[in-house]
Amino acid sequence: MIFERNCLLVALVIALLAPLLLPNQYAMHIGVLIMFSVMLATSFNLIVGYVGEFPLGHTAFLGVGAYTAALLSTRLAMPYHVAELAAPLAAALFGLVIGAITLQLRGPFFVIVTLCFAEVLRLIANNWIGLTNGPMGISGIEKPSWAIAGDALQQKVSYYYVGLLLAAISLFVSYRFVYSNIGRTAIAVRENRFVAQSIGISPFHLGLLTFVLAAGIAGLAGGFYANYVSFVGPEVFGFSFMISMIIMVLAGGKGTLVGPVIGAILVVLLEEYLRDFKELRFSIFGLIVMAVVLFLPRGIMGFITRRHETYVRGATRDA
């Protein structure tokens, strides 16, 4: 707990100073993507690591958040901060409904049915032209005043700091959740469902709470994305974001808070490095997923945490 908190604080300090160290547009753009990815990964990690199920349809909440923000900005001319507040609420609502249905199932059935929900949403986004403009998507989302003030670099820096704020909020909420009494019960369910039930924990209700929280964070990310990119189309429900989330959480380390952050940085950098080679990139991602499952199932952070624990235990034993 202390170890993770310190790692996160160090990361925060570095992140705050980054624009001073790398004052160029491209680096700031990467920074924005990293902040966005950290939110997504943290959200996905809450379900994978703390409910213990694999929601292959998690992009549903990213998409709901993005479309909510986009629609509020364009159709109702709402300012950004309202849209950015509504996005996670809408996503959390969807999370409540979808979670109430899907959390009655386990294992591969949970995986498939969440995927079905995401697909239904994608089909709706694609076909309900009146609402979503179909495959053409919603474009021309108006940027708030702070995002158009100053030169191109300052605009990027503004987005970077807003993204950092949102990512920090996401991590703060997750941290408070995980290292709390409620978090302990969620971990208990993940570790041993039967024991958890026998001491009065309802796996369903706890799973639903975590699910809604995760959906909200994904929605937050979606709203931010919609405004930064200024365009939202049905592909926001698609598999490309899903693959990124899977890698970020698996390779970074599921069930830890720092893991998704590491995973997010790795994946964004890898995606940028291989930006021109989309198929090759995903091909490599596929290999990485398999390799992580076979050889590093706890991810990078899980590996580091284990070593750290062994080291601490060894040190106290010898002391």
Partner 1 sequence: MDLFLQLLANGLVIGTFYALSALGLTLVFGLMRVVNFAHGELYVVGGLLGWALTDLVGLNFFLTLAIVIFCLAVGGYLIDRLLMARVRGQGEEPTILLTIGLSIFLTNTALLIVGTAPQKVISPFANKPLFLGPVVITQSRLVLVAISAVVILVAHLLIQRTTLGRSMRATFQDSMAAQLSGIRTSHVYGFTFALGAALAGAAGMLLSSIYVAQATIGDVVSLKAFVVVILGGMGSFAGAIVGGLVLGITEAFWGGYMSSGYVDAIGFGLVIAMLLVRPYGLFGKHAERA
Partner 2 sequence: MLEVCNISKRFGGLLALSDITFGVGSGEIVSLIGPNGAGKTTCLNLITGFFKPSAGTVRYRNDDITGRAPYAIAQTGLIRTFQKTNVLKGLTVFGNVLAARHRHGETSLLRTLFPGQAQRSRERQLRDDAASIIEKVGLLDRMNAEADSLSCGELRLLELAVALGAGPQLLMLDEPAAGLNTEEAHQLGAVLKTLIGSGVESILLVEHNMALVMEVSHRIVVLNFGRKIAEGAPDEIRSNVGVIEAYLGTPAS
Q: Which among 20-28, 158-166, 173-181, 233-241 is the span making contact with partner 2, rule CB under 8 A?
A: 173-181
Structure token pair of residue 191: 């570790």
Query: Per rule CB under 8 A, is residue 28 in the interface with partner 1?
Result: no
| Shortest distance in whole angstroms from residue 150 CB to partner 2 | 34
Query: Per rule CB under 8 A, is residue 289 in the interface with partner 2?
Result: no
Query: Per rule CB under 8 A, is residue 125 in the interface with partner 1?
Result: no
Query: Per rule CB under 8 A, is residue 177 in the interface with partner 2?
Result: yes
Crossing angle (nearest 10°) for helices 239-252 and 278-295: 40
Contact partners, residue 154, CB within 8 Å, separation at least 6: none
The C-alpha atoms of residue 119 and residue 115 are separated, in whole angstroms, by 6
Nearer to partner 1, 38 or 245 (CB): 245
| Binding-site partner at residue 239 among partner 2, partner 1, none, CB < 5 to 8 Å by type | partner 1
User: Are 231 and 115 contacting, i.e. CB atoms less than 8 angstroms apart?
Assistant: no
Which string of x and - marks every residue 55-74 that binds partner 1 (by CB under 8 A)? -x------------------
Nearer to partner 1, 93 or 111 (CB): 111
Count, residues near partner 1 per rule CB under 8 A = 44
Contact partners, residue 240, CB within 8 Å, separation at least 6: 282
User: Are 251 and 263 contacting, i.e. CB atoms less than 8 angstroms apart?
Assistant: yes
- Per CB under 8 A, contacts with partner 2 among 206-245 are 209
The C-alpha atoms of residue 255 and residue 18 are separated, in whole angstroms, by 27
Of 266, 278, 273, 211, whose CA–CA distance to 240 is shortest? 278
The C-alpha atoms of residue 244 and residue 33 are separated, in whole angstroms, by 12
Query: Per rule CB under 8 A, is residue 54 in the interface with partner 1?
Result: yes
The beta strand positions in 202-249, using DSSP E, are 231-232
- Per CB under 8 A, contacts with partner 2 among 31-90 are none
| Shortest distance in whole angstroms from residue 192 CB to partner 1 | 13
Of 91, 56, 41, whose CA–CA distance to 213 is shortest? 91
| Shortest distance in whole angstroms from residue 139 CB to partner 2 | 36
Nearer to partner 1, 23 or 297 (CB): 297
- Amino acid, res. 224: F
- Per CB under 8 A, contacts with partner 2 among 185-204 are 185, 187-188, 191-192, 194-203
Residue 31 Cα distances to 57, 97, 191, 200, angstroms: 26, 33, 35, 44
Q: Which position among 5, 6, 16, 109 is part of the footprint of partner 1 (CB under 8 A)?
A: 109
| Shortest distance in whole angstroms from residue 169 CB to partner 2 | 10
End-to-end CA distance of the chain: 22
Query: Per rule CB under 8 A, is residue 99 in the interface with partner 2?
Result: no
| Binding-site partner at residue 201 among partner 2, partner 1, none, CB < 5 to 8 Å by type | partner 2
Of 58, 35, 33, 64, whose CA–CA distance to 45 is shortest? 58
Give contact residues for partner 2 (rule: CB under 8 A): 173, 176-177, 180-185, 187-188, 191-192, 194-203, 209
Give contact residues for partner 1 (rule: CB under 8 A): 52, 54, 56, 101, 103-109, 111-113, 115-117, 119-120, 123-124, 126-127, 203-204, 239, 243, 246, 250, 279-283, 285-290, 292-294, 297
